[in-house]
């Protein structure tokens, strides 16, 4: 309840100050639906694996704020893979309807399947990649509805993988992407600060 109240009373000044610290927002079910692009589906649960423990723990905390149970664990004794798992019933019959849903869904999708330049030695870029072409086209449509310009969906190498597709966010829209969509993933959130 406290997280909901904080969201309702966000001032323009606080929104500007917290633009990259989305942690004070209530994570939505739409975000989790986007995040599922990096998940394994089990009979009764979704299982999301990441090498970033902080992100896994944040996701579990936000799932609990939505009123569902979530648990985390490390996979194996020496592997750098952390898991958050929660019941599938949390997202049953969920539909993306509002612009807020679209924004949250894209943020989750980006945190799961988005790419960002990590080295300052290369030209900055943002992209989305996925094997499901229809799914990728849907997220591109949502971005364009939010006035974020994107390049064409293409296959980077038919020889390497004929069923792998991606598209880039236009350089003209990097700032809009960072401000409107952002990221909850600690590494991506830090890298997005470079474009503002």
Q: Tell me: the pLDDT tens digits for 149-195?
A: 999 999 998 888 999 999 999 999 999 999 999 999 999 999 998 88
Is there a single domain that holds both residue 47 and residue 117? no
80 and 104 housed in the same domain = no
Examine the domain organization and report whether 54 and 132 are in the same domain.
no
- Select from 75, 91, 107 the last residue of a domain: 91
pLDDT recorded at residue 195: 83
**Which pLDDT belongs to residue 4?**
35
- Average pLDDT rounded to a whole number, residues 130-135: 93
CA dist 87 and 46 (Å) reads 6
Sorted by sequence, the CB contacts under 8 Å of residue 35 that are 6+ apart come out as 48, 59, 108, 109, 111, 112
Query: What digits encode the pLDDT tens for the residues 89-107?
Result: 999 999 999 999 999 999 9
Assess whether 87 and 112 both reside in one domain: no
Report how many domains make up the chain.
2
Two tokens at 46?
């979704």
Same domain, 123 and 183: yes
The answer to whether residue 88 scores a pLDDT higher than 90 is: yes
Examine the domain organization and report whether 169 and 110 are in the same domain: yes
Say if residues 35 and 112 touch (Cβ distance below 8 Å).
yes
> Distance (Å, rounded) from C-alpha 104 to C-alpha 26?
10
User: Which residue range forms the structural domain that includes residue 170?
Assistant: 99-195
What would the two tokens of residue 21 be?
A: 């610290």
Work out the number of other CB atoms within 10 angstroms of the CB of residue 99. 12
182 vs 9, higher pLDDT: 182
pLDDT of residue 14: 44
Strands (E), 19-140: 39-41, 45-50, 70-74, 82-87, 114-116, 126-130
Read off the pLDDT of residues 15-32 as tens digits, 9 standing for 90 and up. Answer: 444 444 444 456 799 999
- Give the pLDDT of residue 26: 66
> Rounded mean pLDDT of 107-111?
96
């Amino acid at each position: 309840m406290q997280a909901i109240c904080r969201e309702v009373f966000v001032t323009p000044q606080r929104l500007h100050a917290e633009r990259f610290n989305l942690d004070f927002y209530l994570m939505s079910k739409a975000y989790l639906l986007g995040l599922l692009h990096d998940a394994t589906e089990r009979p009764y649960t979704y299982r999301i694996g990441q090498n970033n423990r902080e992100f896994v723990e944040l996701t579990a905390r936000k799932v609990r704020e939505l009123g569902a149970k979530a648990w985390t664990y490390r996979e194996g004794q020496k592997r750098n893979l952390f898991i958050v798992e929660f019941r599938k019933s949390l997202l049953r019959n969920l539909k993306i309807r509002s612009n807020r849903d679209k924004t949250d869904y894209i943020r989750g999708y980006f945190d799961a399947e988005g790419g960002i330049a990590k080295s300052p030695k290369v030209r900055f870029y943002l992209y989305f990649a996925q094997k499901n072409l229809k799914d990728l086209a849907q997220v591109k449509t949502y971005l364009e509805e939010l006035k974020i310009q994107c390049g064409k969906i293409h296959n980077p190498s038919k020889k390497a993988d004929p069923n792998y597709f991606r598209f880039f966010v236009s350089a003209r829209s990097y700032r809009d992407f960072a401000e409107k969509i952002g990221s909850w993933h600690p590494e991506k959130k830090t890298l997005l600060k470079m474009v503002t």
